[in-house]
Amino acid sequence: MNSQPIVKVQQVVKTYQLGETEVKALRGLNLTLFKGEFTALIGASGSGKSTLLNLIGCLDEPDQGVVEIEGHDISKMSEQEKSHLRNRRVGFIFQSFNLIPVLSIFENIELPLIVQHELSAEERKRRVEQAIQDVGLEKFRDYFPNKLSGGQRQRVAIARALVTEPALILADEPTANLDSDTAHKIIDLLKEINQRRHVTFFFCTHDEKLMGRVGRVVRISDGQIETE
Ligand code: ADP
Ligand code: MG
């Protein structure tokens, strides 16, 4: 069933220049993700997790190698095509939630749709309310982020990632700022959304305790994937 690749990373090298020193973040990394998968990328701090997620999300470019999303080589895309991909096909969730404090929960979730400039106010409202329902925050739609707990804030960020109906959601340490009970609930929620909405998930973590809850686990060490 899960035979169609959605992400293909081939022989990717990424080096950062830090003053005089070169930091080799990814060293010829290979990885394929399949449609509908729920995959965790686990590795120590500094192993290259964020670098890999940023390349897959078109937030950065590799020095060498190929990154393909839905069969398209991102190095051959125009800026406009990459921006389309970031705004429509891929959703992002971050460790620190990145909510906008002066916007209500409803408005935070609506923001990516406003940026798209495509849907009517009525259709936006329908999508936002569906996403709010998907993460169980109906009672909090008119609250501001500072009234919410960490777990609730991450639920808002999940709804904001979902609202554009992306094919792939990338999450960079989505549970790192949460206690372990809340972290487990967030991973279970992502998994439920993965199954219900058929969105492919790829999230990274350094927390081994989450591994029991995940379908596929990929390990990264020194910028390379270890054998699965
Ligand atoms: P992780 O997310 O697994 O902690 P990163 O992908 O952030 O790892 O980093 C991989 C390596 O690249 C680390 O050694 C880190 O210090 C280095 N690195 C990441 N981003 C930069 C940057 N912008 N400039 C210089 N070095 C960086
Ligand atoms: Mg990181």
The residue type at 116: Q
pLDDT-derived band at 211, boundaries 50, 70, 90: confident
Q: How far apart are CA 83 and CA 85, in angstroms?
A: 5
Q: What separation in Å is there between the alpha carbon of 2 and the centre of ligand 1?
A: 31
- Ligand 2 center–CA 146 separation, angstroms: 25
Per-residue pLDDT reduced to its tens digit, 53-101: 999 999 999 999 999 999 999 999 999 999 989 889 999 999 999 999 9
| Structural domain includes residue 17 | no
Q: Which atom of ligand 1 is nearest to the CA of 45?
A: 4
pLDDT tens digits, one per residue of 164-178: 999 999 999 999 999
Nearest C-alpha to atom 27 of ligand 1 is from which residue? Answer: 16
CB-based pocket (< 6 A), ligand 1: 16, 18, 23, 25, 43, 45-51
Query: What is the domain-level CATH number for residue 112?
Result: 3.40.50.300
For ligand 1, the distance from its centroid to the CA atom of residue 14, given in whole angstroms, is 10
Which residue's alpha carbon is at the smallest distance from atom 6 of ligand 1?
Answer: 48
Residue 174's contacts (CB-CB under 8 Å, 6 or more residues apart) are 93, 94, 95, 154, 157, 158, 186, 190, 203, 205
Contact of 43 with 204, CB cutoff 8 Å: yes
* pLDDT confidence of residue 199: 96
Tokens of 178: 């949460």
Radius of gyration of the chain (CA): 17
Residue 111 pLDDT exceeds 90:
yes
Residue 14 lies in a domain: no
Residue 185, in any domain of the structure: yes
Residue 30 lies in a domain: no
DSSP assigned state of 36:
T
Indicate if the pLDDT at residue 217 is higher than 70: yes
First to last CA, the chain: 19
User: Cα separation of 149 and 34, whole Å?
Assistant: 33
Q: Which atom of ligand 1 has the smallest separation from the CA of 18?
A: 25
Average pLDDT, the chain: 94
**Domain around 202:** 37-61+78-225
Q: Which of 12, 42, 50 to mutate to test the pocket of ligand 1 (most atoms within 8 A of CB)?
A: 50
Give 214's DSSP letter: -
Strand segments, DSSP code E, in 19-141 are: 21-34, 38-42, 64-69, 72-73, 90-94
pLDDT at 158 over 90: yes
pLDDT at 146: 97
Please tell me the residue having the least CA distance from ligand 1 atom 24. 16
Residue 126 lies in a domain: yes
Count of structural domains within the chain: 1
Residues 6+ apart with CB under 8 A from 74: 58, 61, 67, 68, 82, 85
pLDDT-derived band at 210, boundaries 50, 70, 90: confident
Q: Residues 112, 164: contact at Cβ < 8 Å?
A: yes
In a domain, 125, yes or no: yes
pTM value is 0.94
Instruction: Enter the tokens of residue 17.
Output: 């220049």
pLDDT value of position 1:
53
171-208 b/e (C-beta count within 10 Å ≥ 16 → b): bbbbbebbeeebbbbbbebbeebbeeeebbbbbbbebe
Taking phi over 0 as left and psi of -120 to 50 as alpha, with beta for the rest, 124 belongs to alpha
Domain annotation covers residue 115: yes
Whether 3 shows a pLDDT value over 90: the answer reads no
Helical (H) or strand (E) element with 131: helix 121-134
**Assigned domain for 164 exists:** yes
